[in-house]
Structure 1
Amino acid sequence: MPSPIAAFPPEVFTAMLANLTMGDFARVLRVSHAYHTFVEPLLWTRIEMHPRDFHAQNAQDALMAEERAARPLFSYALAPELSRRDSEDLDGHERGERFLATFSGHETWGKGISEERRRALGRKVEFLCLPIHREYREPAVDPWNPFVHFENLVHLEISTFWVPPDTATPFTAPDYGLANLKTVKLRGYVDVAFVRWVLSEPAGIEELQLGILDAPVGTVLVGRERWVNPPALENRDLEYTDEEVIQSLTDEERARFGTGENLEHERVAPRARACLTRDIVVRMKSLKKVYLYKPSNGDKLNEDFLYFSEVSDKAILDEWAALLRAARATLESVTLDSRPVAEENCGDGTTNQAYVRMCANGPSYRRFVERVLPVLLEHKMWPNLQAVRLFGFERFDEGVEPEYYGDPDYPDGSVDVPGQLQDAFPEAAIESYRGRRTVIWNESGEIISGGDVLETANGFDTDEEEEEDE
C-alpha cells in the first residue's frame, strides 16, 4: 500500500520537510527509492556550513540588518544561534573540512565514494557557503581541488583561514569554468590560482565580495619548521633567531614575497593580495554589487612594532580602481572596507573606535585618495549607482591626536571623501562609517579571528566601551 504522504503535492511535501534537521533528511532518504529521488536534491542544492545568523553577526554593524534579510532560509534546521562574541565557529570548521573531504577521496571521510558519485552529487549543489580551516588531522584534507565537482554553482562563499602550503595539495584548474555563478564571496587566505579559476567565467557574476590575503609572513618564514615538520617544533632551539631563518631561505622562497618587502621585520601586518587578471576584470559585464576589503596602515606609534606593506597596499588599490572602472556601467552598490592593523597587545589599551579614529586619514587613506577616488568621481560614467558605503576612511571628528601634530605622515584633516562623492552623486546614498580594526598574532602574522576569518575577536567594542568612546 503506498504511503499517504506520497499523495501530497510536491510543494506541500517540501514545506513539511523544511523543519527537518540534516539527520532527519538522511533518514528520510532511506525510506524508499521514491523518497530518495525527491529528497536528495533538497539536501544537496543548498549547502550552508555556518550557524544561523552567523553572517549577520559578523557583518559591519551598519550592514547587519541587510545581511540578515538577504540570507535565505535553508531546507534544514541549522545550529543554534551564536552570541556575537563567540570566538570561533569550530563546528562549522569541522563540518566544512568533512564536506570537502567527501569530494576529495579522503581515506577516512571520502572512502568508498566513487568519483562518478562525487560528480553526480557535486552537480546538484547550487549554493555553497563554508569555512576552510586546517584542523591538523592526518592525512590533510585537500582544500581546493574538491570544488571542481560543483559545476553548477550559482552562489559560492568561502572564508579561508591560513592553510600552510606544505599541507595543501596544489590546485589544478580544469578546462571548464563555473558559468552559472551569480554571487562570489571570497575572504581570507584563498589560493590565487583557485580565485582565478572561480572567476574565469565572470560575465554572469552580479555580486562580488573580495578580501584576499597573501600568506602571513610570520607563519611562513619565522615559523617555517612548524609546517614542514611539526614534531620538530617541540625540540626547537630556544636560541633560534628570526635572522637565522631569513638567512636560510632559498632564492625561490624569497621570490615568493616579491620585492620591496621588509621581511626582516619582527612583525609583518596582513597583506592584501591582488589576484584579478585583466581578462577577468574586463569581462565583468553584469556586476551590480561589489564589496572590497583590505587591511590598512595602523596607528603611527604601532608602526614601530609592525611593518605594513606599501607594495601590497598600492597593488590592491590599483586592482580596486581597475575593477570599479571596468564595471561602473552596471554597478549599483559599492562597499569599500579598510581596516587598520594592530598587533595583538594593542587591544589591551584602546577600544576599537578609539584605535580606528587614530588611524584614519593616514598613509593608506592618501593612497586611496590618489588611486581610487578619481575613478569614483567620474560620475558621468556611473549611470546606475545607487549607494556607496565606506568603512574606515574618515575620522568623524576634527583635528588629529596630539602626538601627530606636525607629522607629515598623518596630516591634519581629510579631503572629505563622503562629501565629494555626495556632490558627484546627489541622488545616491553615500554612507561613511568608522568600521573596525584588524588585530594579528605577533608571532605568526595571522589575523586573530573572532568568527569569520576577517573578523577580529577584539575588533568589536562592548556596548559599555562604545558608550565611553562617544
Structure 2
Amino acid sequence: MPSPIEEFPPELLASVVANLSSNDLCSLMRVSKAHHVVLQPFLWSNIEMHYRNFHSRICHDALHADEVAKRKEPPYDNGPEDSGKRYGSSLSAERVQKFLQIFSPNGFPKDSKLELGSLVKSLCLPVHDEETKFREWTCFENFSNLGYLEISAFWTPYLDPMQFSAPECSLTKLRVLKLRGYIPKEFVQWLLREPAGLEELQLGVLDRPIGGNCEGPDGWENPPPPENKHPYDMDQLSERERAYWESTENLDHMYVGARALACLTPDIMRRFENLKTLYLCRPSSGEETISEVYFSEPSDRRILEEWNALLTSTRGTLESVILDQRPSAEENEPDGTGNNEFMRQCANGPSYKRFVEMVLPTLIESKEWPKLKTVRLFGFERHDEGSDNYTRTPNYPNDSVDVPGQLKAAFPGVDISDHIGRRFLTWNTSGELMSAGDVLETPNAFDDGSDEEVEKNDHRF
C-alpha cells in the first residue's frame, strides 16, 4: 500500500510543510523513503547562506519595503544577526564552505551533485571570503533549475585567482540575477549566456584590487602589469602617445581606489527580451577629498559605456531603473565626516559629470521607454537636509544639472525619486572595499551620519 504522503496533492503538501524548520523537515524525511523523495525538494529549493539581517543592511531605506515584499525566507534559522563584529559573517562563511564542498570537483559524485543541484531554485550566498576560500566558480553548473541567484563576492587577498572555464551548459531558467563585489568577468558572462528569460538584473561587479596589505607598490599582493606603468615625463611624448596613455589606467600609484568592472558584451546586451528591473551600482570619484587615492577614469568611462549600452538595449521592456553612485572614501574618512556630510561634499564630482555627459542623454529619451514606471537615484545630487556644516562649505552648487528634475520633465507620468546614497570605504593601501559603506554590506545606521555608528560598523571582513 503506498504511503499517504505520496497521494497528497503537491500544493497541499507545500502548504503543510511551509512553516516547518529545516530540523523538522529532516526528521520527517527519515520516516520512509517515500517521505524522503517527496520532502527533499522542499529542503533544498531555497538556499539562503547570509546571516539573518544581511539584506536589511545592504538595502537602501527607500528600497527596503520592496525587498521585504519580494524575499522568501528559507525554512531554517540562518544564524544570528551581524552587529558589526563579524559573528554572523563568520557563521555564514562556515555554512557556505560546507555547502559548496558538496558541489566542488572533490565533492559528491557527479550524478549526486547534479541531482541535488537540480532541486535548488533560489540561491543566495557570500563567496570568496577568507573563511570560505572559494575558488571553484564552475560548481554553479550543477544548479540547472536556478530561477534566483544572488552572490556577494568578498575579496580574498591571499588566494591566487582561479581562471574560470565556462561549462558547456547554461542556466536557462534564471529570472533574477544579483551580483556584487569581486566576481570574475568570465563567470558573469557565462551566467548571462542565455539572458532572454531574465526579468531582474542587479550589477555591482568590481575589478581586482591592485594593492595588498603592505603599504606602497613594493608590497602589493597584485601589482599592475608593466604595460600599465605610465611614462614619468608625459611632456616628452608625441600627441598620439599622450592620448594613448591618458586613456589607459595609471595603476602605478601608492593608493588605487575601488574600480568597477564592465562585464557585458554587445551580444549579451542585445539578447535581453524580458528585463523589467535593472539596478546598477558603481564606485565613483567625488570632490577632491581623497587626493592621495588614484581613481581610474578609464575604468569609470568603461562602466558608464556599459550602463549606456545596457539601458539602450533594454529600455523597451524596463519598468524600474535604480542607479547607485557611491563616492570612494579612505578608510580613515569616518574620523572626519559622517556619511551624509561626505555625500553632500562629493555628490557632484568628476564621476557625476561623466554620467551627465555619457548616460543622461540616453535616459531622457522618453519616447523610447514605453513601460517605465519608477526611477530611483542614489548619490547623484547634494542633499542639505540633515547635513553638518562644520567641515567646509561645498564649492560646487552650480555644478549640478539637476538630474532628477530633468528626468521628471522627460517622464511626467513616472515615479522618480532622488536619495542621498552611501559612500564606498576602501583600505587606502589596497583599494579593497571595507565591510561597511560598500556594495557588499552597508548598515542602515550610515544614513544618519552618526560618527558613533560609523566607528562601530567599520570593520574588515
Give the TM-score of the pair, scaled to structure 1.
0.84
Q: How many Å apart are 1:360 and its aligned residue?
A: 0.9
Matching residue of 1:375: 362
Q: Quick one: which of 410, 421, 434 aligns to 2:420?
A: 434
Matching residue of 2:168: 175
- Give the whole-Å Cα distance in 2 for the aligned partners of 1:465 and 1:243: 34
The answer on 1:120 being equivalent to 2:137 is no
Question: What letter corresponds to residue 66 of structure 2 in structure 1?
Answer: E
- Give the whole-Å Cα distance in 2 for the aligned partners of 1:31 and 1:248: 57
The answer on 1:26 being equivalent to 2:12 is no
User: What do residues 167-210 of structure 1 show as CA deviations (whole Å, max 9, x unaligned)?
Assistant: 44322111221111111101100111100000010111110000
Asked if the contact 2:204–2:439 (Cα under 8 Å) also holds between the matched residues in 1, the reply is: no
Matching residue of 2:284: 296
Asked if the contact 1:362–1:411 (Cα under 8 Å) also holds between the matched residues in 2, the reply is: no
The answer on 1:445 being equivalent to 2:431 is yes
Question: What letter corresponds to residue 242 of structure 1 in structure 2?
Answer: P
Q: How many Å apart are 1:18 and its aligned residue?
A: 2.6
- Give the whole-Å Cα distance in 2 for the aligned partners of 1:150 and 1:253: 38
Question: What letter corresponds to residue 259 of structure 2 in structure 1?
Answer: R
User: What do residues 85-105 of structure 1 show as CA deviations (whole Å, max 9, x unaligned)?
Assistant: 565522222212221111004
Superposed CA RMSD in Å reads 3.2
After superposition, the Cα gap between the structure-2 partners of 1:411 and 1:188, relative to the gap in structure 1 and judged at 3 Å, is: same
- Give the whole-Å Cα distance in 1 for the aligned partners of 2:56 and 2:222: 45
Matching residue of 2:47: 47
The answer on 1:203 being equivalent to 2:214 is no
Asked if the contact 1:448–1:457 (Cα under 8 Å) also holds between the matched residues in 2, the reply is: no
Matching residue of 1:454: 440
Matching residue of 2:65: 65
My pick for the range that moved more, 172-181 or 432-441, is: 172-181
- Give the whole-Å Cα distance in 2 for the aligned partners of 1:249 and 1:210: 25
Matching residue of 2:149: 156
Asked if the contact 2:178–2:203 (Cα under 8 Å) also holds between the matched residues in 1, the reply is: yes
After superposition, the Cα gap between the structure-2 partners of 1:335 and 1:84, relative to the gap in structure 1 and judged at 3 Å, is: farther
Question: What letter corresponds to residue 217 of structure 2 in structure 1?
Answer: D
- Give the whole-Å Cα distance in 1 for the aligned partners of 2:136 and 2:9: 40
Percent of aligned pairs sharing the same letter: 48
Which runs of structure 2 are paired with 1:177-326 in the superposition (5 Å)?
A: 177-219=170-212, 242-243=217-218, 251=226, 260-302=248-290, 304-326=291-313
Q: How many Å apart are 1:149 and its aligned residue?
A: 0.7
Matching residue of 2:77: 78
User: What do residues 17-73 of structure 1 show as CA deviations (whole Å, max 9, x unaligned)?
Assistant: 333333333333222100110111111122111244431332011111111111013
My pick for the range that moved more, 62-71 or 288-297, is: 62-71
Total equivalences in the alignment: 435
Question: What letter corresponds to residue 131 of structure 1 in structure 2?
Answer: P
Matching residue of 1:387: 374
Q: How many Å apart are 1:11 and its aligned residue?
A: 4.1
Q: How many Å apart are 1:368 and its aligned residue?
A: 0.3
Asked if the contact 1:294–1:338 (Cα under 8 Å) also holds between the matched residues in 2, the reply is: yes
Q: How many Å apart are 1:263 and its aligned residue?
A: 2.1
Instruction: Could you tell me which runs of 5 or more consecutive residues in structure 1 were left unpaired when the two chains were aligned.
Output: 224-239
- Give the whole-Å Cα distance in 2 for the aligned partners of 1:83 and 1:247: 30
Question: What letter corresponds to residue 68 of structure 1 in structure 2?
Answer: V
My pick for the range that moved more, 326-335 or 158-167, is: 158-167
The answer on 1:133 being equivalent to 2:128 is yes
- Give the whole-Å Cα distance in 1 for the aligned partners of 2:421 and 2:277: 19
Q: How many Å apart are 1:165 and its aligned residue?
A: 8.2
Where 2:354 maps in the other structure, the secondary structure is helix
Question: What letter corresponds to residue 293 of structure 2 in structure 1?
Answer: L
After superposition, the Cα gap between the structure-2 partners of 1:24 and 1:133, relative to the gap in structure 1 and judged at 3 Å, is: farther
Instruction: Could you tell me which runs of 5 or more consecutive residues in structure 2 were left unpaired when the two chains were aligned.
Output: 231-245, 454-461
